[in-house]
Structure 1
Amino acid sequence: MKWAVCGFLLFFMTHAIAWGQDNELTIHIVAPELRPLVYQNANGQADGLFIDALSQAQQQSHLNFQVKIVPWARAMQLVKNNQVDAIMPVLYTKERAQSLVYPQAPLINFYGSVIVKRSSDSYLFHGFDKLTDTKSIAKVRAMSFGKNFNRAMKNPLITITEVAQLEDALNMLLLKRVDLVVADGLVADDIISTMSIENQVEIMAISDHKESSYLGFSQRFSEHYDVNRIMEMINQFNDPEYYQKKLTAN
């Protein structure tokens, strides 16, 4: 506790000149919908586990978070053009690191990729390299599923369709517009339950590889503020290992 308090005080001492001891630092964040982490509720407001953590951090600091839900492509464009301060969650890639600044600590670690199929489909997953016929697969644009899936995307038997939300991918599956959906296991469980389609789909595990996702900051914001200190403050109320602990509990 002593070190946490010292770090908290140091954060504000190092930024007092930047935004003033008694003034708020407002951080404008954009995010694509990714239930249960971040989404737009029935009142049109940002909601989810990330929003809960940011709200707690806001109550204990001079930080003020303004979160807007926008489609993935637009969210990336806004932060790359320095029109907003940050995007969440965003996976690290060398290409994105040319225009985004990543803090050392992740916002969330994803564990366990799955394939979702229609219950009426007799297909059994034995690996992407075992395919003998063509498969169309839908995935959320903001998600990555490790090196094996990245290699699979180059397989001529596989056609990838990227969508903004997992709900869109699952609806495409039910309408037989795609053969399969690839997703994070716990996100898929949550969305399938929310959509009440448990009896219409089946889930098959494909990977337990960890994928870290971050609160990625714009270059302009990062020139003025210490993004690692900001992330430390947020992670006092956010648990990057939330999914791993839930998997263990299950």
Structure 2
Amino acid sequence: MHRIIFPALLTLATASSSAVADNYHCVSLAYPPLIQQDASGPAHGLAVDVVRAVFARLGHDMTVEVMPWARSLTMVRLGQRDCVFTIFRTPEREQFLDFSHESIIPQLIYFYARKDSGVAFNGDLGALAGRRIGTVMKVNYGEKFDAARERFTVQEVATLEQNFRKLVLGRVDLVPSNVYTATYTLANMHDAAVDAEVVQLPVPLENVASHIAFAKNRQLTALRDQFDKELKAYVASGAYRHLLNQYRIAITPEMARFLDNN
């Protein structure tokens, strides 16, 4: 009797165990419309929806905590969380993170200036030497900006909204930002002075791939590889394009190339 029941119970336990999805814990910063969180609800936004959908296709659950960017990076560096997004690849970050090979979303970085300030950008960062640049703490703006950073007077604050207000007040000359978050932030500030004074300079600073990255000391490289494969399938399915329409994000030539390459 026992010899028959025990294997059956073992089989049942194994089946139940394999049916339970793993739950991964990610961190990010408030980066609307890509990542945002209302006071009483879970994180949401284009990037959150993409990452959550890919995890679901892999049979996993995931949570996202939105917090200051410096704290997010510290938590994944210490292995206190599994993953972080959206994040630009840098040599420093590669020391403690395994980056996805696939990009979650291409991010076009532009400079924003005061209307009639006389500040121009033609693609040559050297011409901006000595300018006061308002950045967000620990946010990366691509390799070109990093290489030229010492030429500027960089002033860091906690949020992009603070930088736009400093720009209007004349405390900084330029503010870099990805176009999605800048457009969203400017539209939701509801500030007549900001609307009247802040303009996007026409030449982009850089088109940067942004990723999900997994904490190295959590040993999740196999999950990273599975995520890459499933993300490509998700984009190819047309679901990604549907989300762009849902969030009213324009399909720029750069975005069209991203969609066509998956």
Q: TM-score range by the shorter chain?
A: 0.7 to 0.9
Instruction: Between 60-69 and 119-128, report the one with greater CA deviation.
Output: 119-128
SS of 2:219's equivalent in the other structure is helix
Q: Establish whether residue 118 from structure 1 lines up as the match of residue 114 from structure 2.
A: yes
Instruction: Between 52-61 and 69-78, report the one with greater CA deviation.
Output: 52-61
Quote the sequence identity (%): 22
Q: Establish whether residue 227 from structure 1 lines up as the match of residue 224 from structure 2.
A: yes
**Corresponding position of 1:36:** 33
Q: Establish whether residue 151 from structure 1 lines up as the match of residue 147 from structure 2.
A: yes
The within-5 A match list for 1:49-68 is 49-57=46-54, 59-68=56-65
Number of aligned pairs? Answer: 228
Instruction: Between 181-190 and 218-227, report the one with greater CA deviation.
Output: 218-227
**Corresponding position of 2:196:** 199
The within-5 A match list for 1:210-249 is 210-223=207-220, 225-237=222-234, 239=240, 246-248=251-253
Q: Quick one: distance in 1 between partners of 2:42 and 2:154?
A: 31
Indicate conservation of the 8 Å contact 1:107/1:235, yes or no.
Answer: no
Deviation at 1:183, TM superposition (A): 1.4
Change beyond 3 A, Cα 1:220–1:123: closer
- Aligned-residue Cα RMSD (Å) equals 3.1
SS of 1:116's equivalent in the other structure is strand
Runs of 5+ consecutive residues of structure 2 not aligned to the other structure? 1-13, 257-262
Q: Quick one: distance in 1 between partners of 2:68 and 2:74?
A: 10
Indicate conservation of the 8 Å contact 1:34/1:165, yes or no.
Answer: no
* Amino acid across the alignment from 1:209: E
* Amino acid across the alignment from 2:131: K
Change beyond 3 A, Cα 1:221–1:136: same
Q: Establish whether residue 26 from structure 1 lines up as the match of residue 20 from structure 2.
A: no
Larger radius of gyration: 2
The within-5 A match list for 1:150-169 is 150-155=146-151, 158-169=152-163
Runs of 5+ consecutive residues of structure 1 not aligned to the other structure? 1-16
TM-score scaled to structure 2, two decimals? 0.75
Q: Establish whether residue 109 from structure 1 lines up as the match of residue 106 from structure 2.
A: yes
Indicate conservation of the 8 Å contact 1:38/1:46, yes or no.
Answer: yes
Q: Establish whether residue 175 from structure 1 lines up as the match of residue 169 from structure 2.
A: yes
SS of 1:154's equivalent in the other structure is helix
Deviation at 1:237, TM superposition (A): 4.0
Indicate conservation of the 8 Å contact 2:85/2:212, yes or no.
Answer: yes
